[in-house]
Structure 1
Amino acid sequence: MTTPSASGRPDHKPRPFIDLLVSIVIPSLILMKLSGDEYLGSVNALVIGLAFPLGWGLFELIRYGKKNFIAVLGLISVGLTGGIGLLELDAGWLAIKEAAIPAVIGLAVLVSSWTKYPLVRTLMYNRNVLDVDKIHQALEANGNVAEFEGRLLKATYFFAGTFLFSSIMNYLIAKWIVVSPSGTQAFNEELGQMTLVSYPMIAIPSMIMMMLIFYYLWRTIRRLTGFTLEEVMAPQLRDEQKAKDYSESPSND
């Protein structure tokens, strides 16, 4: 059961296995296995296959109010993929589209570094993850605010680099796998293969890179403030961890 947030919407809790199933596995299986004329046909398989991630993305946006830039780009990406297949455009456009989406996100990350709200600060250095006020007070007391801001800027550049990596890999994988004319059964099957291959070859390395960026940020906080990770976790996360530790302690069995 989900609990409502202050905005009146249910709180959004990550569901990676459902996201993976709906956005990757089911569409890929439909495109690879049901595109033949004896099943759905190439057009119907493309429409139904892409309807899963598109419908799931819209559900997330409407249900939880997750109206963020990256989510919207994801919906645009799915729509463009469907358009390329249905309009039977040259398959080369798919490679361009696959590269363009992460490139646009990476550019947005860079541009955000010149604003009051860098995306790294929004995603990693925020009150839902860290006790920002406590960290800032320690940085001011130690005279390390300027050095921390410089490290945060570096983290922004590293973060943009992960999307550059995704952009290049997306283009190469699309050019390597999708070689058949769009609108054909072979195109759908190759699109499904590309979707499956892109997850381990792009998503997992990108996730590891983002974890390393967070580790870099955390090591910076530790060096400049002297706090341990537990000491700078967001208060609500500390409370959740204490409640979990208490419930799992032998005395409560």
Structure 2
Amino acid sequence: MNSSPTHKPRPMVDLLVSVVLPSLILMKLSGQDQLGVSGGLVAALAFPLGWGIFELVKYKKFNFIALLGLVSVLLTGSIGLFELDNKWLAIKEAAIPAIIGIAVLVSTFTPYPLFKTLFFNASIMDIDTIKQKLEENNSTAIFEKRLMTATYLVAGSFAFSATMNYILAKWIVTSPAGTEAFNEELGQMTLYSYPMIAIPSMIMMMGVFYYLWRSINKATGLKLEDLLVKK
């Protein structure tokens, strides 16, 4: 019997604790008369780390947003602590989404394409019914082409994210690493990345999912409730 409390998703709280508060600490409390550069980084890291541990212990749930916040603050803050050249920050910001996008493309040449494996699988969709309808309508080849198009669109959304991350980092973070101004600019970059990059990327992904659903609907005639696995 599971005695863990019921966990309800709280995306706004996750963003506040894992992104907004660390960013504000880096921007406002990294001065030498306050927490200092290293102290500001440690304090900023404490929020996503503490929140992720709290969620894991109390609800037995892994908090992905907290992990992203922790990794982001840790990597960007480490560049400040080791006083690396600013170019590494821009490269780091672009590298993660670029690697994911490349992996999505490369996986199409393997037996297990990432996009198809993650989103067109038996745990989400009624694959057997969909395949049966595709065969009945002689639409299997057409649907596979549209699934490949959706894969390219997903890779394109990661390419957009990588490009915008690089531009934003080069635009905002101009101060030498290891300084109070550098930490402040890191916080600004993190805050701006959500309305300028994360939200547009999310809208793109929603568009891809809509395109995929419409493709299945046209190819099979099935409605949305017929496509999904019955719980």
- TM-score band, normalised by shorter chain: 0.7 to 0.9
User: Kindly, what percent of the aligned residue pairs are identical?
Assistant: 64
2:91 alignment counterpart: 96
Secondary structure of the equivalent of 1:113?
helix
Is contact 2:45–2:70 with CA below 8 Å preserved after alignment? no
Letter in 2 for 1:171: Y
CA distance in 2, matches of 1:123, 1:173: 30
C-alpha change, 1:107 and 1:28, in structure 2 (3 Å) is same
Match of 1:197 in 2: 192
From 133, 145, 149, the equivalent of 1:150 is 145
Q: Which position in structure 1 is the counterpart of 2:178?
A: 183
1:112 aligns with 2:111: no
How far 1:93 moved relative to its partner? Answer: 1.1
Are 2:132 and 1:137 equivalent residues in the alignment? Answer: yes
Residue among 8, 11, 15 paired with 1:20: 15
- The equivalences for 1:1-253 within 5 A come to 14-54=9-49, 63-64=60-61, 77-236=72-231
Task: Return 5+ residue gaps in structure 1 as ranges.
Answer: 237-253
| Contact 1:174 1:194 (8 Å CA) reproduced | yes
Contact 2:93–2:165 (8 Å) recurs in 1: yes
AA matched with 2:110: T
Deviation, 1:131, is 2.0
- Cα deviations by residue, 1:8-54 (Å, 9 ceiling, x for unpaired): x9998644223312321111111112112222111111122134335
The TM-score, its normalising length taken from structure 2, stands at 0.86
Q: Cα distance, 1:97 vs. partner?
A: 0.7
Summarize the Cα distance change of 1:72–1:28 in structure 2 as closer, same or farther, 3 Å threshold. Answer: closer
Q: Unmatched 5+ residue regions in structure 2?
A: none
Please give the alpha-carbon distance, in whole angstroms, between the structure 2 residues aligned to 1:153 and 1:59: 40
- TM norm structure 1: 0.79
Structure 1 pair 18–217 and aligned structure 2 pair: CA distance change class (3 A): same
In the alignment, the residues of structure 1 paired with residue 195 and residue 114 of structure 2 have an alpha-carbon distance, to the nearest angstrom, of 25
The answer (yes or no) to whether the contact 2:19–2:69 under 8 Å persists in 1 is no
Please report the RMSD computed on the Cα atoms of aligned residues, expressed in angstroms. Answer: 2.9
| CA spacing shift, 1:14–1:159, aligned 2, 3 Å | farther
Shift of 1:65: 6.5
Q: Secondary structure at the match of 1:44?
A: helix
Letter in 1 for 2:144: E
Question: How many matched pairs?
Answer: 228
